[in-house]
Amino acid sequence: MSRRAGIIGAIIRKDLVEFTRDRFYVLITVFGLVIYVAMYWFLPSSVDETIEAGIHWQGGLPQELSDGDGLEFTPFDSAAALEAAIDGSGDVSVPIGLDFPAGFTESVRAGTPTTVRVLLTTDVPAEYRGAMTSFVRELAFLISGADLPVTQLDTTEVILGEDRAGDQVSLQEKMGPMFVFFMLLIETFALATLVATEIQARTVTAVLATPTRVADFLAAKAIIGTTLAFGEALLLVILIGILGTGPLVLIVTLLLGALLVTGFGLIAGSTGKDFIGIVFWSMLFLVPLAIPSFAVLFPGSAAPWVRVLPSYGLIESIVRTTSYGDGLTDLAGPLLELAGWCVIVFAAGLFTLRRKVATL
């Protein structure tokens, strides 16, 4: 056993030397790490759920227009100043403006028709436009003391899942799992290049001419690939400060993720005959694997076909740990799914590499 371990260790040391001599992958690893850390800390860490609106009302604002939850009013002295704030030419900018005409209160109470201008920027969502129009109408009924023209129905609000009102997931939290995943993918290219280079240069044949067995060679490649991928991803997690949200869960998730990308790296390296071939096979795996990381950026549940992708359990576990504080028990499903994919892909990678070595 100790002899086999010594042989595997010698191959691992040789691979580490080859990795450090490959300036391209050393450069993109360091560059990727620096860029991901910088981008993560540059992204907003909170979500502003307040709707800011400008108000032009002659005289003091009525009590009905006081700030409420999620709504903040900025008063303006004239309609021209409000318009300047909307189009961005003023000292203050607001996305929505309400321009009330002179004598609005008196006209409403007297039942005289009057017009309120709702000013909007071009990027204001359509639902905000309807909300502001409805707000003005309800304000008119409130000031006049008249009842609404419809009967208010009794409703019960039911929120399916966790209520995130006031505690939305920030863009920083959404992008963190994506950066970690892409850091893992860098190792896919690096390992695939190492394997393909040794196959093309017949280094494998030279190694197997020694007392080294095929199993030793495969074990060394699996260990070096998993260790480097796990180490790089763990370093990124530490640098962006999310390891403390769930250390045990993240370590288990990253280890499984490292096994997953190592399996794909072995397949790509065994199949690709040159650099172009490696890039082709790596991209063939990368594109579908990256889909779950982009799905996190959009609200709602992921589509069923996204959930069956090998990387979905990885992304889901990182997101729910860092953003929602879920533990191992809560993530049993995604982690078991990820572990299952790891077994399949890792076994396929070892099988592909073994067959390739056998043909040399």
pLDDT by residue (tens digit) across 272-319? 666 677 777 777 778 888 888 888 777 667 788 888 899 999 999 998
Give residue 255's pLDDT. 94
User: What stretch of H or E contains 75?
Assistant: strand 71-76
Strand order in the sheet with 71-76: 71-76, 51-56, 96-99, 117-120
pLDDT by residue (tens digit) across 35-44? 999 999 998 8
Give residue 253's pLDDT. 94
Give residue 167's pLDDT. 55
Cα–Cα distance between 10 and 15 in angstroms, integer? 9
User: What's the pTM?
Assistant: 0.75
120: amino acid identity, one letter = L
Per the CB < 8 A criterion, the answer to whether 239 and 37 are in contact is: yes
* Percent composition of the chain: helix, strand, coil (DSSP 3-state, to 5): 65, 5, 30
Give residue 1's pLDDT. 54
Residue ranges of domains in the chain: 2-44+168-358, 51-144
Per the CB < 8 A criterion, the answer to whether 254 and 179 are in contact is: no
Alpha-carbon Rg of the chain, whole angstroms?
30
Helix (H, G, I), strand (E, B) or coil at 288: helix
Q: Is 18 left (phi over 0), alpha (psi -120 to 50) or beta?
A: alpha
What is the pLDDT tens value at each position of the chain, 360 positions in all? 577 788 888 888 888 888 888 787 888 888 889 999 999 999 887 766 677 788 887 766 666 666 555 677 788 888 888 888 888 777 778 888 888 888 777 777 777 788 888 888 877 777 777 777 777 777 776 766 655 555 554 545 554 445 555 556 778 888 888 899 989 988 887 888 888 887 777 777 777 777 778 788 888 888 888 999 999 999 999 999 888 778 999 999 999 999 999 998 888 888 866 667 777 777 777 888 888 888 877 766 778 888 889 999 999 999 889 888 888 888 999 999 999 999 999 899 888 888 887 776
Helix (H, G, I), strand (E, B) or coil at 71: strand
Per the CB < 8 A criterion, the answer to whether 251 and 332 are in contact is: no
Give residue 272's pLDDT. 65
Range 51-144 has CATH code 3.30.70: no
Q: Which residues contact 116 (CB under 8 A, 6 or more apart)?
A: 98, 99, 100, 101, 104, 136
Q: Which of 48, 70, 133 is nearest to 97 (CA)?
A: 133
**∠282-287-290 over CA atoms, to 5°?**
110
Cα–Cα distance between 85 and 96 in angstroms, integer? 9
Give residue 233's pLDDT. 92
Q: Buried (b) or exposed (e) across 337-349, using 16+ Cβ within 10 A? A: bbeebbeebbeeb
Cα–Cα distance between 63 and 57 in angstroms, integer? 12
